[in-house]
Structure 1
Amino acid sequence: MFAIFMQSTTPLLYPEVLKSISQEPTSNHLLPASSPSPASGADPVVPALFVLGDSSVDCGTNNFMGTLARADRLPYGRDFDTHSPTGRFSNGRIPVDYLALRLGLPFVPSYLGQAGTVEDMTHGVNYASAGAGIIFSSGSQLGQHISFTQQIQQVSDTFQQFIISMGEEAAINLISDSVFYISIGTNDFIHYYLPNVSGVQSLYLPWSFNHFLTTTVKQEIKNLHRANVRNVVVMGLAPMGCAPHYLWKYNSMGGECVDDINDIIMEFNFAMRYMVQELNKELPDATIIFCDVYEGSMDIIKNFKRYGFNVTTTACCGLGSYKGWIICLSPEMACGNASTHIWWDQFHPTDAVNEILADNIWSGLHTNMCYPMSMKDMVTLQSEKSLKDASSAPTPFFF
């Protein structure tokens, strides 16, 4: 039987939690959150999109959990297609929403939000949970969440459902032709390393901590590969030192980013990129790409006028200096037009930024931030491989 072989590498000791990068503004977008059909009637480029991660890509998982890390209230979602909160940590869409449309797919439903039938999952599932980190216990301060390791197990459960429903060969083809998108790691810094929980900084220098995190992610990708996953997009982290929360916390003068934090994030992204490079050598039948969100985000921050932004340091929603002290709790705390802001709340960008980043992930439209290729090139490669496999299949012989 087709199965995923789990190797848990994340210790139960370390806590950290939510708040990564994700959000959205007003839009002329066409697709409601629960749309069951691909955009514009286009044929899907790949069978499905599967998403794992934290609040940067959570589309509603935490709506079903007892946690403070929830975005199921206004003003979250006010500029979404339905103009209502969905659980996305944004005023509108998150990057995977834009990427789903690029792939000709409907918006991917939350694992806990869909009915559980195979039909609901054949175009993809979003397992992401706000508060999750690479380390197992991340997010425990906020309440319930689905850890990264648990998300991998949910993926395994989904695969088994596919096998039972459609047979092993069809399930393998669906999984191997689909795209898996991983966006996680912010909470390991926000809620564990940076606040020096349990004196972690005396045990791990930044580089060794980053090595530990990337080694864990590498093992989980190998677990997915054992389940016939062949196309993986691994996201790096955004410049957290520029987030409104840290501008407030470090009393930034003139909105200057906190370099000490950004240096650690750049090290993490470097380690992740190297890890992906090594994985591509170790798994030659897979295509794994790394997208450096730091690069794409800093291009937006440095060239904000070119991108149409007016406010670069202060969040649209929150309280305190840079609106980085108190989290976004009510519509009265929000600005009028989020599309002029880079940041939506303490940690998450606006929908406008998410759209730019999604364009970069897809094709490098504004900045080349994915290596060794863009997501568009990856799915093109997959399509060519599928055609080649189909043409080389033995022709049935009829008497």
Structure 2
Amino acid sequence: MYIIYNLAPFPNNSNQKAKNGAFLFPPSTVLPPLPLPLPLPLASPIPLPSTTPPRLRVSPPHRRRLLRRPSTAAALSLPAAAASPLAPALFVLGDSTVDCGTNNFLGTLARADRAPYGRDFDTHRPTGRFSNGRIIVDYLALRLGLPFVPPYLGQSGKVEDMIYGVNYASAAAGILFASGSDLGMHVSLTQQIQQVTDTSEQLALSLGEEAAADLFRRSVFYVSIGSNDFIHYYLRNTSSVQSLYLPWEFNQLLVNTVKQELKNLYNTNVRKFIVMGLAPIGCTPHYLWQYGSINGECINEINNLVVEFNYAMRYMVQQLSSELPDAMVTFCDAFKGSMDILKNRDRYGFQTTTDACCGLGKYGGLIMCLVPEMACSNASNHVWWDEFHPTDAVNRIIADNVWSGEHATMCYPMNLQEMTKPKL
């Protein structure tokens, strides 16, 4: 059995041929099923069109006064840790799919600290989550018996504030430092890993080196990033990146970078990884509007890039598992889980799979969600909350799949429940 990906050129790309005369996208590309010896070199022969990311110029938590603590009533409404959680902590790295408030403290257009974001959250107020309610890692925290993970930039620096985990994710962040820069400040993946190192050192000072290392080894690290490398970089042809990298070369560059960053996390004693693939970006309301989808059909030219990226990521995770035998590394295919929802909306209880609950223009994809008046009355009927992000209802379904594969098998070689199953 073979997987066939029909890759068509981008409609807005007039230069369809590479320098050697070959088309950027052949009429069809046949990829054999996993495993296969997919070549993923350690470094691309073409230099990165961006500079080395600087260390984030935000003071560490114990030296900042940016903290905006929730009211007592709001704090009491949030879940607390269980008596015996399945993992001591949950640490989160990524972009707006899992940002829970990091960008509230940054100068950026990529912020969700205003209504109607958060209107269906536990506190019924905006928190910085790009959703009407909870995000995937909120549901996973509850499954693990942990409280919701707080943002790194919203912490006081005390160990008790991070003992159950920290969320480093930053909206607009990409695998590459340059991705998402058009929106303003963000914390790149490399900078997030610097923050993980800072957390490790801080825990070591308070708990002792061995106790801190043991905490990291038993905790779950959830990584969800990569969409902005396409949305805000490759698809916009920023810095003429499409002339430097063919689509498959760009995907290789991204995957190789993620692999090295996961190794960097491993070197800080991380042993349990959940690595998320990308959702179907070509089905988001923004691209349905931009590419002029007639009846809500997804944009295959974009989704083919995502499928190839996820395919390479899954193979990379297999490689990494063999290279780091004492680590547990799982890849979860968000594309597969999301497409199951889009193709079976009645089974999942959704009325619309194309229109954003909050937005303007056809499909609600013209502009981001700005004011409450732009939002629909019942987000639970919608797959999409805004032009790029799913609703709380979808986040819950995907979280169920990451946890146990309840609705669709997404995670390989194991789901989170299997990863954290107590040893007898």
The answer to whether TM tops 0.5 is yes
Which digits, 9 at most, give the CA deviation of each residue in 1:143-179, with x for residues without a partner?
1111110000000000000110010110111000000
**1:99 maps onto 2:140 in alignment:** yes
* Counterpart in the other structure of 1:298: 339
Q: Secondary structure at the match of 2:354?
A: coil
**1:68 maps onto 2:105 in alignment:** no
8 Å CA contact 2:78, 2:123 repeated in 1: no
Alpha-carbon distance, 1:129 to partner: 0.3
* Counterpart in the other structure of 1:165: 206
Q: Whole-Å Cα distance in 2 between the matches of residues 46 and 257 of structure 1?
A: 38
8 Å CA contact 2:204, 2:212 repeated in 1: yes
**1:182 maps onto 2:223 in alignment:** yes
Return the letter of the residue paired with 1:164: L
Find 2:374's aligned residue among 311, 314, 333. Answer: 333
* Counterpart in the other structure of 2:279: 238
Instruction: Point out 4+ residue stretches in structure 1 off by more than 4 angstroms.
Output: 7-12, 31-34
Q: Whole-Å Cα distance in 2 between the matches of residues 246 and 292 of structure 1?
A: 21
Find 1:37's aligned residue among 58, 80, 98. Answer: 80
Q: Secondary structure at the match of 1:132?
A: coil
Q: Whole-Å Cα distance in 2 between the matches of residues 349 and 257 of structure 1?
A: 15
8 Å CA contact 2:80, 2:147 repeated in 1: yes
**Mapping for residues 1-399 of structure 1, pairs under 5 Å:** 11=48, 13=50, 35=78, 37-38=80-81, 41-380=82-421, 383-384=422-423
8 Å CA contact 1:45, 1:103 repeated in 2: yes
Q: Whole-Å Cα distance in 2 between the matches of residues 47 and 8 of structure 1?
A: 35
* Counterpart in the other structure of 1:21: none
Alpha-carbon distance, 1:42 to partner: 4.3
Structure 2 unaligned regions, length at least 5? 1-41, 53-73
Alpha-carbon distance, 1:191 to partner: 0.7
Q: What TM-score, normalized by structure 1, do the two folds share?
A: 0.87
* Counterpart in the other structure of 1:22: none
Alpha-carbon distance, 1:53 to partner: 0.2
Identity %: 68
Return the letter of the residue paired with 1:37: A
Alpha-carbon distance, 1:35 to partner: 3.8
Q: Whole-Å Cα distance in 2 between the matches of residues 34 and 192 of structure 1?
A: 39
Indicate the structure whose relative CO is greater, using CA pairs within 8 Å and at least 6 residues apart: 1
8 Å CA contact 1:58, 1:128 repeated in 2: yes
Q: Whole-Å Cα distance in 2 between the matches of residues 364 and 73 of structure 1?
A: 33
Return the letter of the residue paired with 1:13: S
Alpha-carbon distance, 1:226 to partner: 1.0
Alpha-carbon distance, 1:8 to partner: 12
8 Å CA contact 1:343, 1:350 repeated in 2: yes
Which digits, 9 at most, give the CA deviation of each residue in 1:258-283, with x for residues without a partner?
00000000000001000000000000
Return the letter of the residue paired with 1:235: M
Q: Whole-Å Cα distance in 1 between the matches of residues 412 and 181 of structure 2?
A: 33
Which digits, 9 at most, give the CA deviation of each residue in 1:58-78, with x for residues without a partner?
000000011100000000000
Give the CA RMSD over aligned residues: 1.9
Return the letter of the residue paired with 2:354: T
Return the letter of the residue paired with 2:50: L
Structure 1 unaligned regions, length at least 5? 1-6, 16-30, 388-399
Q: Whole-Å Cα distance in 1 between the matches of residues 212 and 291 of structure 2?
A: 50
Q: Whole-Å Cα distance in 2 between the matches of residues 226 and 328 of structure 1?
A: 40
8 Å CA contact 2:77, 2:123 repeated in 1: no
Name the count of aligned residue pairs: 360
Alpha-carbon distance, 1:36 to partner: 7.0
Pick which of 75-84 and 197-206 moved more.
197-206
Which digits, 9 at most, give the CA deviation of each residue in 1:108-132, with x for residues without a partner?
0000112111111010000000010
Summarize the Cα distance change of 1:208–1:63 in structure 2 as closer, same or farther, 3 Å threshold.
same
